[in-house]
Structure 1
Amino acid sequence: MSLRIIVVLAVLTGISGSPSVTVGPEADSADTRAHPNSVPETVEKTEILGQQEVIVQEKAEENVMATGELNINHYPARRAAHVVQHYLNTLYGSPYRLLQLHKIHRGNAEDVSDSERKYELEISVQELIGNTTGKCSAEILFPRGERQRSPQVQASCEELLKINTKAQEEALYQQYKMNSGLLSAQNLPDSYGHIEPDMKPFWHLSIVAASFVMLNESSENTLYNMAQVANITQLATENDQLKFDCHILLHEMVSQEIIHWKLLFTWSPPDGVKVLQMEQLPHRHEGEIPPNTN
């Protein structure tokens, strides 16, 4: 009998202690308590093919949207603001002017009908190449329904219009307009995040062209970022435009998909970027080398 008691005591001693529970930081978020009608966007900083500090989003309840005053750190405001970024690049972007969301100051959202939802934002936008920042006010109208339609954007950014890059653009234009050989480049940036200095204007130009796709494909449930130019080739043209065939990789950060697109676009300093054709390419497996799309 005494031996049995000793064995039982030994077993009880081996399992003594209390279980521990780990609570994530979002469990007691002040933002969540203050805004129960919105879902927090979990973000972290990472590097994707040379671009630093892009936003990686974890899964959230996509069917919950905030109404009224928005929490500027939550995904409804952030995704709408990135749509404004793409819109501004389609209007003002160039090889020497590239615009990126810097900060959201204020946001509001409301359902204006059964088929439309309106966001009003006050944001700061940074011009990356010249490293200047200006404030913008914007209105984004997201359509709803089974058929995908592009959001409608209106934005006022007077300070950004003062940036003058005409001399740099004209010099680049003349250089590649007069060249006997046509430009061809691949993997901008490469797997180490490197881009040769003379190729950076064409990386920027490709981002501007990609903004047309990202704007067209955006919805309240997406967040697009340019990942890489797989290849870009200058094409012969008889008019005053430089013409390019380009294969780009976009990162859709909600689904974590890498999406391939083929673009045909033109550029000149007076007319800016004009996208002539855009085509989504079939999904490719990770590590598969993209073909030359020329």
Structure 2
Amino acid sequence: MLSVIHTHLESVSSRLCYATVLRFINSSSSGPRSSPERIMKAFCSLWLLLSLVELSPAPPASQEPPLVCRGATDPAPPQPETQEDMASTGDLEPTHFPARRAAQVALHHLNTLHGSPFRVFGLQQVHKASAEDVAAGGRKYSLDFSVTDWASGSAGPALRCSAEVMFPRTQQHSGPEVQLRCEALQQVSSTAEEHAFYQKYVTPDSAVSAQHLPDSYGNMSEDMQPFWRLARVAASFIMLRESSENTEFNMVQVASITQQESSEKQLMLDYVVLLHDLPSQEIVQWKLLVSWSPDRGVRVLQTEWQPRCPHATKPPN
């Protein structure tokens, strides 16, 4: 009832003030105004002031960082597809999270060994997977899977691999241990394309610099694709090191690339890469100093985790 009366009074006040304003405008040249008009003018001024105060937004209650930066008081670890998957041993479903995650770790290991600006492997399929708990403390995954060379496109031949991936269970994070075997891997060697790329950019007329590879529409120039693949290989070193039983990393974008001078006849590049962790849906940013040549391969010389929140002091793991 009170709200109805309040609304009615507001409506009456609005009409009275509106009429008063019109009279002021129409009688602006008719001499001095009467006392009731001056009283009404004062009332309207006060009413308008109160209206503005009521409509003004309140200041924020807290200037603290948002919850995404502060973090939950008791954060829950990323969950796998099912609890049964996480605890299971023996044969695993090849398409489920534990098998796929372990295969991704083996893939990162493969790229650190054999990746280049013209060779980066992607997971095609997990054929068989099993898990067992080991007495030393950890879980070992045995895998049979196939990969393809992304640089060759969908027409490239599949490479069959087998691997054992060991996730140690320790107080402090320790990267997984990988033993990998791939058929025909000995045939992978430097190509004429890699040597031509090296000669073109090791002493360029102007340093290479780019941002957002690919862009928000998924586009990337052909000239930048070798630099993207080189970043993907370099990111594999980080993704391998940071992986655990609760993660599944993939590089989603090269945020920036800047070529640096090198006195060692190496292609030297500063990268900022964005890594996506599938279970937690978190995007993690890393800065990498990377060197490459056909003879010495890819080397990650410096790594720096770049938190999105100013108070953060250490990487997720």
Considering the TM-score relative to the shorter chain, is it more than 0.5? yes
Task: Quote the residue 1:78 is aligned against.
Answer: 100
Q: 2:91 aligns with which of 69, 79, 82?
A: 69
Unaligned runs of 5+ in 1: 1-56, 286-294
Unaligned runs of 5+ in 2: 1-77, 311-317
Structure 1: distance between partners of 2:126 and 2:246? 18
TM superposition shift of 1:115: 1.8
Task: Quote the residue 1:120 is aligned against.
Answer: 142
Task: Quote the residue 1:282 is aligned against.
Answer: 307
Structure 2: distance between partners of 1:234 and 1:203? 13
Task: Quote the residue 2:110 is aligned against.
Answer: 88
Structure 2: distance between partners of 1:102 and 1:168? 25
Moved more, 99-108 or 62-71: 62-71
Q: Deviation string for 1:237-280 (max 9, x for gaps)?
A: 11121111110000111100111000011000011110011111
Task: Quote the residue 1:39 is aligned against.
Answer: none
Tell me the secondary structure at the aligned position of residue 227 of structure 1.
Answer: strand
Contact conserved, 1:94 with 1:204, CA < 8 A, in 2? yes
Letter in 1 for 2:141: Y
Q: 2:170 aligns with which of 145, 155, 163?
A: 145
Tell me the secondary structure at the aligned position of residue 214 of structure 1.
Answer: helix
Structure 1: distance between partners of 2:179 and 2:79? 29
Structure 1: distance between partners of 2:195 and 2:309? 38
Structure 1: distance between partners of 2:202 and 2:165? 37
Greater share of helix: 2
Letter in 2 for 1:258: I
Tell me the secondary structure at the aligned position of residue 100 of structure 1.
Answer: strand
TM-score, L = length of structure 1: 0.74
Contact conserved, 1:65 with 1:76, CA < 8 A, in 2? no
Greater share of strand: 1
Letter in 2 for 1:265: V
TM superposition shift of 1:114: 5.0
* Pairwise CA RMSD: 1.8
Give the total of aligned pairs. 229
TM superposition shift of 1:110: 0.5
Letter in 2 for 1:67: T
Structure 2: distance between partners of 1:161 and 1:192? 37
TM-score, L = length of structure 2: 0.69
Task: Quote the residue 1:260 is aligned against.
Answer: 285
Tell me the secondary structure at the aligned position of residue 249 of structure 1.
Answer: strand
Q: Deviation string for 1:81-117 (max 9, x for gaps)?
A: 0001101000000111110111111111111125221
Task: Quote the residue 1:213 is aligned against.
Answer: 238
**Which one has a bigger Cα radius of gyration?**
2
Letter in 1 for 2:135: S
TM superposition shift of 1:145: 2.2
